[in-house]
Chains A and B, each alone.
Chain A
Amino acid sequence: MEDIIVVEDLRKIYNKDILAVDGISFSVHRGEVFGFLGPNGAGKSTTIKILTTLLEKTSGRATIDGLDIDKDQAAVRRIIGYSSQEVGVDDDLTARENLLLQCSFHHIPKEKAIQRVEQLLETVKLQEAADRRLKTFSGGMRKRLDLASSLVSDPKVLILDEPTTGLDPQSRQDIWEYIAELNRQGMTIFLTTQYMEEADRLSDRLCIVDQGKIVAEGTPLELKARIGADIITLSVRSDDPEACETASTVIAKMEGVKEVGLCSVGISGDKGLTVMAHNGSAIIPQLVRLLDGIGVQIDQLTLSGPTLDEVFLKLTGRALNVVERKGAVKGRGWGKRGKRP
């Protein structure tokens, strides 16, 4: 597949000693959604600012649609749309005015601009609020408008820096739908996120970044398959106190099973087993038959896939979601470099 963004050994050093981006290389295929997943301070925004030509790189090379981000700066700006983490909209203007202003920055003739704005307002469902000033807008509405404003020029590549950070679940859902729809229409999308779910749901391929480096790259499925395994949790109904142990020995011998552990299941603390297997759904029928054969009755059985959360944890030894798990990561050097411009 053809690459639209190519980044080679990109490096950014702030103030001579803060290494924000440490020699990363990756490429984005034309027409895909490419995710950059990592915690605060991983170098995501810095990478985005370099790609959008807002920040000068220290070394390395990057091209978008064959255009060098330094040498062809102006041309790059014509083919990208960018929505920043800060939401760059003007609160004193109305939604429509904001979009029209953005149109004039892209030299879209007036009549075409009016049409385009109407169309964009419809896309992000802001027609009714179109002539209200942004002061009265919710966070989700502002973000939707910001997304619309990055689309006025119908860019080849849309670059989104944490598109849903700080949004409520409904707004997040909306933004995800727009992103998916834009991608269906053929737009290449590069986005950063610190949410596993977002990266998993939206991206065709993704990089996991941590402390300025790419620690893993692949499709969400690949990444999950590489590091994690499916987990089958089952509880057994038996008067025999040895039933679990017996079952565990039998299961451990099955093909495709990585690991079997004893555990207690549910609130009642019933005896149960945790089975880790490469392909969980495929071995379930066999597993059920096997247990049936030795007279162990299954009470409950659940299958869960590995999550990117686990992937990140395994790769870096740390949990990803800083906001939700602040207590757990305190004192481990998190965010000591602070938030970067």
Chain B
Amino acid sequence: MMMEWVSETAAIFRRWNTKLVRQPIFIFFSLIQPLVWFLLFTQAFSAIGDIPNFKQLTGTASYVTFFTAAVVIQTITSSALAAGLGLVNDLESGFMDKMRVAPINKSAILFGKLFSDAITIVVQVVIILLIGVAIGVEIASGLFGVFMILILSAAFGMAWSGISLFVGLTTKSDQTTLSVGLLTTFPLLFLSAAVMPLGLLPAWVQEVAKVNPFTYVAQAFQSLIIEGFVWDKIGNALIAISIIAAISLTASILVFRRKIR
């Protein structure tokens, strides 16, 4: 039973990876997008690093270094919010029916997709970190830190994918799935400590940021890049990710069970 699940999940995982690699547009954008973010923000807002409290609050005077975490988060979430699109497409094309009629575990369909999303995200984050290093970002926690960043990214990516899967399976509409993704991601990013340190945010934004999971994920990344291993920040990020995952994955599994027989 377990072995069957593994082989089914692996087959579906490989299918998504193959599909992804064959979409040159996607690969192009997953490279271009972080580059644009790096350039836009760090060039336009490099003066942020000169704000008197900035170094004191963040541990670095380089806005690029601080901002790397935001680029990572932005990439993870925009990749994850496209996760539901693949399933919506399968529902429409009849491929889902084909999979369902085959004697496979229903959960393999979901997890194969989730794992493929995770690996995609890991590759993208590696690229961002490489770009970052190339333009002068130093990662204080070293290679192990990079490893930690990748693990957190994969986990955060899967948790966030769950939201997209849920919306996709519920609405069966790719338009809605994309819009919901975009509408939640951007406000959450800017109302968190990802773009600005908490201390420099207006009071009401700080209040929002404190309950915003993006803040904790961003702080974990920032600490790994700027300071090294700060375990309570990593712990907080893991808690935030677990909460999102528990809600989003439960919701998508439930709706999947209900909609797909």
Contact = CB atoms under 8 A, between A and B. Distances in A.
Contacts of A93: 15, 18-19
B18 A104 contact: no
A117 to B, nearest CB: 14
Main SS class of interface, B:
helix
Contacts of A49: 97
Contact of A105 (B18, B102, B261): B102
B23 A52 contact: no
B20 to A, nearest CB: 9
A82 interface: yes
A104 B22 contact: no
Contacts of A149: 98
Interface stretch (B4-12, B41-49, B248-256): B4-12
B97 A84 contact: yes
B99 interface: yes
B98 A92 contact: no
Interface string A76-115: 0110101011111111110001000110111100000000
Contact of B19 (A77, A85, A89, A90): A90
Interface string B64-97: 0000000000000000000000000000111111
Interface stretch (A53-61, A178-186, A220-228): A53-61
B11 A133 contact: no
Interface string A131-166: 001000000000000000110010000000000000
Q: How large is the interface on A (under 10, 10 to 19, 20 to 34, 35 or more residues)?
A: 20 to 34
A88 B94 contact: yes
Give the one of A92, A101, A105, A133 with max B CB within 10 A. Answer: A105
B100 interface: yes
B65 to A, nearest CB: 38
B99 A54 contact: no
B103 interface: yes
Interface in B10-69: 11, 15, 18-19, 22-23
Contact of A92 (B18, B94, B96): B18
B97 A92 contact: no
A52 B102 CA distance: 10
Contact of A84 (B4, B7, B98): B98
Contacts of A104: 7-8, 11
B94 A54 contact: no
A105 B95 contact: no
A53 B93 contact: no
B95 A90 contact: yes
B104 interface: yes
A89 B104 CA distance: 17
B19 A92 contact: yes
B100 A54 contact: yes
B183 interface: no
A101 B90 CA distance: 15
Contacts of B4: 107
A149 B99 CA distance: 11
Given A53-B101, A106-B102, A106-B103, A97 B18 contact: yes
Give the one of A56, A84, A133, A153 with max B CB within 10 A. Answer: A84
Contacts of A88: 93-98
Given A53-B261, A54-B261, A105-B104, A92 B95 contact: no
B249 to A, nearest CB: 23
Contacts of A86: 92-94, 97
A215 interface: no
Given A56-B261, A92-B18, A102 B97 contact: no
16 contacts: A53-B100, A53-B101, A54-B97, A54-B100, A54-B101, A77-B102, A86-B93, A86-B97, A87-B93, A88-B95, A92-B19, A105-B8, A105-B11, A105-B104, A106-B102, A150-B98
Given A82-B101, A101-B11, A153-B102, 13 more contacts: A53-B100, A53-B101, A53-B261, A55-B261, A78-B103, A80-B101, A89-B93, A90-B95, A104-B11, A105-B8, A105-B99, A105-B104, A149-B98
5 tightest A-B contacts by CB?
A86-B94, A88-B98, A105-B102, A88-B94, A104-B11
